[in-house]
Amino acid sequence: MTTYWNEKVETASREELEEAQWGLLQETIRWLYEHVPFYTERFHQCGIKPDDIKSLEDIPQLPFTTKSDLRYHYPLHLCAVPTEEIALIQATAGTTGKPVVVPYTSHDLDRWSECMARALWSAGIRSSDICQNAYGYGLFSGGMGYHYGSQRIGCAIIPTSTGRTERQILFLRDLGTTALFCTPSYALTIAERAETLGVDLKRLPLRVGSFGAEPWTQKMKKEIEERMGIKAYEVYGLTEMMGPGVAFSCEACRLHINEDYFYPEVIDPVTERVLPEWERGELVITALQRQAMPLLRYRTGDITALGRIRCECGRTLTVMERVLGRTDDMLIISGVNVFPSQIEDILLEFEETGPHYQIKVFKKGYLDSIAVEVEAKAEIYSLGKEKIAEVENRISARLNQVIGIKAQVTLLEPGSIPRSEGKAKRVIDERKR
Ligand code: ZN
């Protein structure tokens, strides 16, 4: 069994990769300068011309692109091709303000299929697999991206989309699904409902899951693997850059970036300085092969670190750390920077609690305060008030010890936190009301 979908790219030497990236970058810069007035203007503002960029090292001279640039140029003012060349349009959820609209040419869709095929192949998915795609189909790029990738490999696809959890379980059981695609929080929702219905997922043919679209921890991954009896892989991506498929995890649990499509940098989100390997900051990506809407130095808002290592899987593609959170999710609690995933990490240390929790941030006088509500396991909840208070105090002490915040911790009855079918809503910031 071959290990790689595209061995030539996935195991290329650094020199080969950089040479390819440099050629593609020059084409992209010229394409944008000539086709997108927004970039022509940005280049003029920065006082540079395409020819001033003489190597990959000159990339920091290029202007950034931000989410507000995309919103401001709603709907398709950053599109670099005429309408007749557009094959698909996707959009971000846009909970605040206008959605970001992302066009694709058929060439873009072909490249997207390739990126996703590499990801699914790395998870051991082959043409004999039956893939249940429980990512939302529609404007959210998760559904289509996974669809194209599994289609490229030649799998059987069940496009269940998200929701209707009991039907998901019915199909997992009756159609012999071997691979499941969804958000990690929805995977847990499915696992939990299956347990209530008395369906033992571990006894079904299901053997692998590919998850992403929200930050999750190593411990949550383990929990999904144990409850479903599968091996869990991760795919990273964002609609603005294409969708899922920017990076994918390998057998050694490292996320490799599809660097022939995406040139990654990590910057300090405040000073905008490019950071050295393994230093944490905001991920910035330049699209190298997009036609419809290539973006230069797009600020993803995702916090990660990059490194070049010799991975056990044999891939040479740059490794990115699992995303720790988003620059805009980062909570500043009385001057301390806190990511919701750090809190989740601590909650998962406790055997007395389940994986469902909510973080509430509010003002107490002039101070920012934080309250953590987490569901207790049924056998703990039934032990009564004294036991509950004891666990609450231990969690609270641990949060203070590790993150340095004083949080009010409440154990809730199992099943009392609303379940998610897409991305889980973990943080309720009451300061913004
Ligand atoms: Zn690897």
Q: Domain boundary at 327, 358, 389, which? A: 327
Residue-level pLDDT at 215: 79
Instruction: State the chain's mean pLDDT as an integer.
Output: 92
CA 5 to centroid of ligand 1, rounded, Å: 13
Tell me: the pLDDT tens digits for 220-278?
899 999 999 999 999 999 999 999 999 999 999 999 999 999 999 999 887 899 999 99
Could you give the CA distance from residue 265 to residue 318 in angstroms, rounded to a whole number? Answer: 11
List Cβ neighbours of 316 (8 Å cut-off, separation of 6 or more): 10, 11, 12, 13, 14, 17, 308, 310
> Is 342 in the same domain as 286?
no
Domains contained in the chain, number: 2
Same domain (yes/no): 241, 379: no
Q: Output the domain CATH number for residue 342.
A: 3.30.300.30
Of 263, 292, 327, the last residue of a domain is 327
Residue 19 has pLDDT above 70, yes or no: yes
Does 232 lie in the same domain as 99?
A: yes
Question: Ligand 1 centre from 122 Cα, in Å?
Answer: 9
**Contact of 52 with 33, CB cutoff 8 Å:** no
What spacing in Å lies between the alpha carbon of 17 and ligand 1's midpoint?
Answer: 16
Check whether the bond before 82 is cis (ω within 30° of 0).
no
Instruction: Say what percent of the chain tops pLDDT 70.
Output: 98
Write down the pLDDT at residue 433.
55
Is the domain of 284 the same as that of 372?
no
pLDDT number for residue 431: 78
Q: What is the pLDDT of residue 297?
A: 98
What is the structure's pLDDT at 173?
97
- What confidence score (pLDDT) does residue 432 get? 63
Distance 248 CA to ligand 1 centre (A): 9
Considering the domain architecture, whether residues 53 and 121 belong to the same structural domain is answered as yes
For residue 411, give its domain range: 331-432
Which residues surround the ion ligand 1 when the cut-off is CB under 5 Å?
250, 252, 254, 311, 313, 315
Going from the Cα of 119 to the center of ligand 1, the distance in angstroms, rounded, reads 11
**Residue 148 and residue 82 share a domain:** yes
> Phi and psi of 107, rounded to 5°?
-65, -40
Do residues 401 and 298 both lie within one domain? no
Does 317 have pLDDT greater than 80?
A: yes
Considering the domain architecture, whether residues 317 and 180 belong to the same structural domain is answered as yes
- What are the pLDDT digits (tens) for 37-53? 999 999 999 999 999 99
Q: What is the pLDDT of residues 140-193, one digit of tens each?
A: 999 999 999 999 999 999 999 999 999 999 999 999 999 999 999 999 999 999
d(CA 405, CA 74): 40
What is the Cα–Cα distance from 69 to 92, expressed in whole angstroms? 14
Q: What is the pLDDT at residue 343?
A: 87
Mark whether 115 and 164 lie in a shared domain.
yes
Distance between Cα 13 and ligand 1 center (Å) = 15
pTM over 0.85: no
Asked if residue 182 and residue 41 are part of one domain, the reply reads yes
* Amino acid code (one letter) for 5: W
Instruction: Compute the distance from residue 348 Cα to the ligand 1 centre, in Å.
Output: 26
Do 234 and 353 reside in the same domain of the chain?
Answer: no
List alpha helices for 47-128, DSSP H. 67-72, 106-122
The answer to whether residues 385 and 319 belong to one domain is no
Domain closes at, from 327, 359, 389: 327
User: At 311, which CATH number?
Assistant: 3.40.50.12780
> Residues 356-374: pLDDT tens digits?
899 998 888 777 889 999 9
How does pLDDT run across 69-101, given as a tens digit for each residue?
998 899 999 999 999 999 999 998 655 567 899
Distances in Å between the Cα of 279 and the Cα atoms of 245, 258, 306, 366 are 23, 20, 7, 33
